[in-house]
Structure 1
């Protein structure tokens, strides 16, 4: 069989139009990314609130009143946490930046002959002393403290987006099927039925995920409070609340919440700092190998590697908010992938038959 050396590649007008439409859609999405993020956050929050709304409605609480109660409790809890936790944390970080080297001096660890790094490595890394590491930590704390205050200003600069998210999610929650109605509004007629079914399944999983995360946060919060109280770490209750809240971010949340507790421990003494660090490592292992698989992974069914990937992507695109939205959005992607696999299976069976 001979092949024609002069192959002709035909590009129709319809193909060009479709390519231009895709490029235009991507460009439009880029310019409207902030608005899209607001819409996604509103949809996820409304979906997460749905199971709690239904639970209250079973007690004959009107839907509007149930949604109002849920939002009031959530906003009050977050506001109280920020009010009571952030100011003392700033104070302790500032004190820590000044006292951390002194705390290690009291253990005579800056004696070159007693540097534990040299002892552990047999002098292989003698050029890197513990004193240098502590000095770098001190500089980082001072730098990050200033960054936190800058971030606070940025937060207020984004207050309009925050208010818009609350208003939109509240509106979608009050409606019986607010998100479904919204999706049907923006979906082509021939895809309405599929999108409605996809959303119903995704909403159920997102709601179950939120309930699982809250249960996980409660368990971890109690464990952290008991452990830090036994170790006599300052602000044990607030640190436990911080640990519970950051459980909303899988894998990385517990690490982030451990940082202030470990730093506060080191500001008191080296021994306490190491004990707190060891305690958080034990809690993290307990969570990863027992609690998380039982409480969350079975509900959502997302592979751990995919969770890590979407968390990195979410953090890159939208920071902390992106990390919070990553798993719920990945749930929808998993449902789409599952539907695609089913269609492929049906197509193969049809052709083989």
Structure 2
């Protein structure tokens, strides 16, 4: 048998030394494995399974039958429903967060103005925040005493009202026919009145406690947002691609400046309305002129309907004091609202928000329908931000197409 054949069939000849074969074959001095293909696969498959797939190769994917498709769709619907329920349940928290961020953006220009005068940002935030707290305290001291006095006066006058009713001939006839006083006495002695009053007191206490907690939470969130506003701005810019950060920063700064200008302008208009109302009510001799002027200032913050609501409330209080005072209040507020709408508001807001009047009305209506007074307050600056984005981003892109 030739030596080459013996080497090929020998069990020990699993390797050979190649000595310069044809192109593509191993060169001289290289050792090549000549095991059959199926033996090489069997030898390496175990190592691959141990390192890459310790549990074996995955099977074929499940067929997307009707049952699997329906199950996936049902799970998607349940997940969407759960998210919607979570958003509805946390609506109050979301409103607090949005209002706190809005107030922080509105107060930030004042903080930056103090910083430009050489003051540290922390001290500037402290001064602005103390001013906000002082405003709330002043409002409470101006509103609570008149309300308490009026309540005590009404409680003291109740016996006189009862005696006047008893002396009325019509009431006497109704009592004789339907035993009204006897039924009232039975209702009082049976404990029904006490339970109703106790329930009303508890409900009013719960409302007051909830309002206090919401106000405290709003102040804390505003303080945190105001302190970390520069960090939040820089963090949000990291989400934007690097090539667009410069333009995005400029647009974002313009939006924040507009919101801050809107808040400052709205507060200035409310201060003017409250100051002029206080001056008029003091000259007219109205009781609790400061408290009524604060009501005008607070309600004037709400766009469209706020000034009218405050004017109606103060006019009603004036009518309860005297008819001439009520008529004078109605005339004053009608004249002042015309001056505010056509003189004061355009001059103050012309540099902060650039929104068409019709768009402002539509935005305020949608905001009020979605979030009430808070939505109406936020609607105009949001509409201004959307208009800016459309003008600076969408319209140039459409012009290049």
Q: TM-score range by the shorter chain?
A: 0.5 to 0.7
> Counterpart of 2:311?
258
2:280 aligns with 227
159 and 92 in structure 1: CA distance in 2 versus 1, 3 angstrom threshold: closer
What number of residue pairs does the alignment pair up? 287
1:81 equivalenced with 2:139 (yes/no) = yes
- CA deviations on 1:123-147 (whole Å, 9 max, x unpaired) are xxxxxxxxxxxxxxxxxxxxxxx99
Provide the TM-score with structure 1 as the length reference. Answer: 0.68
Provide structure 2 residue ranges, at least 5 long, that are not aligned to the other structure: 1-72, 162-198
Q: Does the 8 Å CA contact 1:53/1:67 hold for their aligned counterparts? A: yes
Hey, what's the Cα distance between the residues in 2 that align with 1:182 and 1:86?
43
Unmatched runs of 5 consecutive residues or more in structure 1: 1-15, 103-145
Match of 2:344 in 1: 291
Deviation at 1:40, TM superposition (A): 1.4
Q: Matches of 1:29 and 1:188 in 2, distance apart?
A: 26
Q: Which moved more, 1:242-251 or 1:289-298?
A: 242-251
Aligned residue in 1 for 2:395: 344
- What is the aligned partner in structure 2 of residue 278 from structure 1? 331
Aligned equivalents of 2:352 and 2:204: distance in 1? 34
2:130 equivalent in structure 1: 72
2:112 is the counterpart of 1:61: no
Cα-Cα RMSD:
3.8
Contact 2:318 2:326 in 1 (8 A): yes
CA shift, 1:294, in A, is 1.0
For residues 123-134 of structure 1, the aligned pairs below 5 Å read: none
Quick one: which of 90, 103, 107 aligns to 1:49? 107
Query: 1:171 offset after TM fit, Å?
Result: 2.0
Instruction: Choose the corresponding residue for 2:230, options 177, 184, 189.
Output: 177
C-alpha deviations, 1:143-184, integer Å up to 9, x for none? xxx999967733522544443332232122123614414534
Separation (CA, whole Å) in 1 of partners of 2:347 and 2:202: 38
Residues 159-174 of structure 1 aligned to structure 2 (within 5 Å)? 159-174=212-227
Matches within 5 A, 1:125-204: 153-175=206-228, 177-181=230-234, 183-184=236-237, 187=239, 193=245, 196-204=249-257
CA contact (8 A) 1:311 1:323 kept: yes
Q: Give distance in 1, aligned partners of 2:97 and 2:296.
A: 27
> TM-score, normalization: structure 2?
0.60
- Structure 2 residue matching 1:207: 3-state secondary structure: helix
Question: Aligned in 2, Cα 1:300/1:190: closer, same or farther, shift over 3 Å?
Answer: same
Deviations 1:248-298 (A, max 9, x none): 212222122223321221112222211111111111111011111111245
Q: Whose relative contact order is higher, 1 or 2, with alpha carbons under 8 Å and at least 6 apart?
A: 1
Q: Decide which structure has greater helix share.
A: 1
Quick one: distance in 1 between partners of 2:95 and 2:131? 24
